Structure 1
Amino acid sequence: HLGLIDAESYYKIKDVQGVRGGASDPAGRYVSIGGREALIRACDDGTDAGQRDAAILLLLCACGLRRAEVPTLDFEDISADDAESEMMTLQVRGKGRKKRAVYLNDGARDAMFDWLDVRGNGPGPLFYSGRKGGRLNVGQRMSHQAIYDLLKKRARLAGVKALTPHDLRRSWISDLLDAGVDISTVAGLAGHSDVSTTQRYYRRGERARKKAARTLHFAYQRRGA
C-alpha cells in the first residue's frame, strides 16, 4: 500500500476552507482580471506617483514580478527601441541574483513609457520613492515595504479586497497556464528553477476541473434509449 489517494479525495481536501497545505503550498488567493484592472485605474489621479504606481502594478499583474524584484530595477535594465516597439525587455534580478528577461507588451509597455516620460532617462533606480501629495524623491530607490504600501493604497481606492503582491503573481501564473502556455515557459518567465514550484502556484478552480473532466469521452447506451 503506497498511501495514495484518489483524485476526488484529493480535491475534497484541497477545497476545505481555512485549511492550509504544507509549507510547499503557497497561501493566497486568485485576483480576477477585473480586480486587477480596477487597481490600475485607481492610479489615474494625475500625480507622478500615480503614474509610477500604474507602471509598477502592471509589472506585477502582467509580468508576475516578485515584490522584492521591483525596487532593485535600474533604468539601465530597460531595453526598447522606441515608443513604437511592440515589446519592451526588462532584465530582472531574481532570487540568488539570477537575471532573467521579462517582456512588456501592450498596457505594461505603454505604462512604462508614460512613467519614463515622468522620470526621465537618467541612470539610477527605475522607480523613485514618494512623498506626500504624489510627489517623488528623485534618485531615491523605493523600499520593499513601499511596494506593499502602494498596493494597499490602490486596492483601497479601487474598492478591491485586501491583497498582496504575491496574489498578483499567483494570478498571473494561473492565467498563463489556463491559456495553455507550456509550464516550462511559464517557469522561465516567473524565474522558477523547477517547474514543480510553478505548478504549486496554479490554483485550479471548480470550473477548470470540470473543463478537464470533459476532455475524455466514453460511449454508453442508456437502457430503453
Structure 2
Amino acid sequence: MSALYNNYQLPASLKTGSAVGRHISRIHEAVSNPALSYINSLAATNTTGGRANARFMLERFCRFLIGGSVNKMDWLVLLTDPNLTQRAIAGFLRYKAQQKAFYTGRRVDVEQPYLNMHLTPVIEGIHAVARAAINAGYLTESQWAQSVSQLSKSDLDSIEPLEYGWLPESMPAFTPVISEDEISLTAHQALEGFSTFCITSCIHRFDWDGLLTAPVVKATISEYLDQGVILNGEKERDYSPATADNLFRMIRGVAEHHWLAENITVERLQRIKAIKLPRGSRKTSGRYISYQDLDKILNIASTHPNPVRAIRDQAIFSVLYETGLRRSEIISLSMGCIDWSRGCINIIGKGNKERNIYFDQNGEMIKKLNNWLSVRNSIMTTDTNIAKEPIFCGISKSKVPTGKKISTQTINDICKWLSQHGFHRTISPHDFRHSLATNLLSQNFDLLSVSQVLGHSSLSTTQRYDQRGEESLRQTIVRRI
C-alpha cells in the first residue's frame, strides 16, 4: 500500500513505477486478506449480487464493528491542499470505475474512465467536511478559498489521480460532525466511499484472524443482527432471516479462505461452520404476474410514444414471462442463442452455468419476438459475427435501433415505466421469474424440472419462487360436512 510523504507527494516508484509491481501487490493483498480472497472467488454479475453484494455486506458488517472511515482519516491534510483534493477525487472516481468493471466482468472505458461516475455527491460531502472544519476552527476560509465546486469530469482527465489507500489511517485531531439532514443520503454514502478510498476499506483494515473463532463469530453476528436496520439514528426493523443467512454464509466463506491460506486449522474452521443461527422466515418478496396482468402490460407497452421501443418492450416482457430469464441473461441474449428449429434458447447464466430453455414455437412470445426482429434486422450487420449480435438493443432518439447492447438498468426502467403509465402496481424484472415458476408448478411440472429451467442450484431456492401459497391458503378452510 502506498503512503503519502510529508510533502504530500506520492513515492516516485509509484508515480513512474511498474504496473506489474502494483498488480502483484494487489494480488498479494487479495490473497493475504481472507475477505478479499473470498470476494474475488465469487462470480462477476451485471446485477447486484456476487462480488458486489458480498463486498457491500461485509463492508457494512466491518463498519459496524470498527466504525466508519470518515472519522479515521486526517481531513486537514486534504482540505489545506485543494490540488491534493482534486487528485484524490480523480483517483476515487477512477477506482470506483475499476471496481464496477471488476464486479460486472467488464473493462473500464479507457477513453471515458469517469463515465457514469457521480461527481456531485463527492464534492457535496467534502464541502460539508470543510464547513465543519472551519466552524471548529481547524481551517480558515482562505485555506479553503480555492474551491473544488466547479470541478468537472473533463477537468479530471488532466489531473494525476492518487492511488487507492494513499493516506495512512490515523487518530486525527479533527473529526467532522455532519448531521443526517445537512447533506443528502447520497452525499453521506459518497463521503464514506471516498474515505475508504483514501485510507482503504473497513474490510482491508479489519482483524479477520481475531474474529474467526467460533465463539467470537457467533457473538459478533448476534450483536450485529440485534442492532437491526438503523434509520435516522433509530432501529427501523430487524434484519430478515435471509439477510442473516447470507451474512453467515459469507463469514463461513471468509473463514474457508483463511483456512486455504493455512492461517487457521481445519478444526477451527469446522467449529465456525457448526454455528447455528436462530431460524426464521419471511414471505417471498416476489409478486405474481398473471396472464391477465401480462395482457395489461403488453397493452400499456404498446402505447409508448416511440413505436420502435413499443415493439421491443413487448418482446422483452413476453420473453421474460415465458422463459424466466434474469436481467443479465436477457441483455446478453444474442442471435446465436436461439435454435429456431428446436424451439430452444441456450443460455450461460449466473455462475457460468449453461442451460436450455424450450418455448412454444407457435406461442405469443414468438409472435412478439418476430415483430421485434423484423425491425431489429433492418440494422443487423452482415459480418461473420452476426450470431453474437444482441437481440435486444438500444433505440436512438430518431427511433432507430442502434445495435448496441442494452444494460440491466434499461430493463429496470421499462418495468418502472409501466407503473408510471397505468399499471396498477410496481413490478420488477425478477417478478417474471417468480411468475414462470408459479405457472409451471401450477401445471404440475415437478420441482426439479422447474429448477433446471430457472437455472437454480438448489431446489429450496425454487420453492421460494412459488407464489401459489396465498391462493392455496384461501382454500384451506375447515368446513362442516
- Normalising by the smaller structure, the TM-score range is 0.7 to 0.9
Instruction: Report the TM-score, using the length of structure 2 for normalisation.
Output: 0.37
Counting helix residues as a fraction of each chain, which structure ranks higher? 2
Deviation of residue 34 (structure 1)? 1.6
Partner of 1:116: 373
Task: Provide, for residues 89-134 of structure 1, a one-character-per-residue CA deviation record: whole Å limited to 9, x for no partner.
Answer: 2112210122211223201111111111111165211111123364
Deviation of residue 60 (structure 1)? 1.1
Partner SS for 2:331: coil
Residue pair 1:35, 1:160 contacting (<8 A) in 2 also: no
Partner SS for 1:101: strand
Q: 1: distance between equivalents of 2:455 and 2:356?
A: 9
Counterpart of 1:53, as a letter, is: D
Partner SS for 1:102: strand
Q: Which sits farther off after the overlay, 205-214 or 191-200? A: 205-214
Q: 2: distance between equivalents of 1:208 and 1:19?
A: 28
For the aligned residue pairs, the C-alpha RMSD in angstroms reads 2.7
Deviation of residue 22 (structure 1)? 2.1
Q: Which sits farther off after the overlay, 43-52 or 96-105? A: 43-52
Partner SS for 2:404: strand
Partner of 2:394: 129
Partner of 1:60: 320
Residue pair 2:337, 2:347 contacting (<8 A) in 1 also: yes
Q: 2: distance between equivalents of 1:95 and 1:203?
A: 22
Q: 2: distance between equivalents of 1:206 and 1:100?
A: 30
Q: Which sits farther off after the overlay, 114-123 or 201-210? A: 201-210
Q: 1: distance between equivalents of 2:437 and 2:399?
A: 31
Partner SS for 1:27: coil
2:465 corresponds to 1:201: yes
Q: 1: distance between equivalents of 2:315 and 2:447?
A: 26
2:241 corresponds to 1:22: yes
Residue pair 1:39, 1:160 contacting (<8 A) in 2 also: no
Counting strand residues as a fraction of each chain, which structure ranks higher? 1
Partner of 2:364: 107
Q: Which sits farther off after the overlay, 106-115 or 38-47? A: 38-47
Counterpart of 1:172, as a letter, is: L
Q: 1:95 aligns with which of 343, 347, 350?
A: 350
Instruction: Report the TM-score, using the length of structure 1 for normalisation.
Output: 0.75
Pair 1:151–1:133, CA change in 2 (3 A) = farther
Q: Which sits farther off after the overlay, 184-193 or 107-116? A: 107-116
Partner of 1:146: 410
Counterpart of 1:92, as a letter, is: I
| Pairing of 1:48-87 with structure 2 (within 5 A) | 48-81=308-341
Residue pair 2:438, 2:466 contacting (<8 A) in 1 also: yes
Deviation of residue 213 (structure 1)? 7.5
Counterpart of 1:109, as a letter, is: I
Partner of 1:5: none
Q: 2:299 aligns with which of 5, 27, 41?
A: 41
Q: Which sits farther off after the overlay, 162-171 or 25-34? A: 25-34
Q: 1: distance between equivalents of 2:419 and 2:370?
A: 23
Q: 1:163 aligns with which of 415, 427, 430?
A: 427
Q: 1: distance between equivalents of 2:314 and 2:477?
A: 39
Residue pair 1:64, 1:172 contacting (<8 A) in 2 also: yes
Residue pair 2:394, 2:401 contacting (<8 A) in 1 also: yes
Task: Provide, for residues 23-81 of structure 1, a one-character-per-residue CA deviation record: whole Å limited to 9, x for no partner.
Answer: 17652322232222211122224722111111111111111111111111111111114
Deviation of residue 189 (structure 1)? 0.7
Q: 2: distance between equivalents of 1:112 and 1:190?
A: 20
Residue pair 1:30, 1:168 contacting (<8 A) in 2 also: yes
Deviation of residue 20 (structure 1)? 8.2
Q: 2: distance between equivalents of 1:28 and 1:130?
A: 29
Q: 2: distance between equivalents of 1:164 and 1:211?
A: 28
Q: 2: distance between equivalents of 1:204 and 1:67?
A: 23
Partner SS for 1:177: helix
Q: 2: distance between equivalents of 1:19 and 1:208?
A: 28
Larger-Rg structure: 2
Counterpart of 2:319, as a letter, is: L
Q: 2: distance between equivalents of 1:204 and 1:19?
A: 27
Identity across aligned pairs (percent)? 30
Residue pair 1:129, 1:141 contacting (<8 A) in 2 also: yes
Residue pair 2:315, 2:368 contacting (<8 A) in 1 also: yes
The gaps in structure 2 that reach 5 residues or longer are: 1-236, 246-281
The gaps in structure 1 that reach 5 residues or longer are: 1-17, 82-86, 215-219
Deviation of residue 158 (structure 1)? 4.0
Q: 2: distance between equivalents of 1:22 and 1:132?
A: 45
Residue pair 1:38, 1:158 contacting (<8 A) in 2 also: no
Q: 2: distance between equivalents of 1:40 and 1:20?
A: 36
Deviation of residue 161 (structure 1)? 0.8
Residue pair 2:286, 2:465 contacting (<8 A) in 1 also: no
Residue pair 1:50, 1:134 contacting (<8 A) in 2 also: no
Residue pair 1:173, 1:201 contacting (<8 A) in 2 also: yes
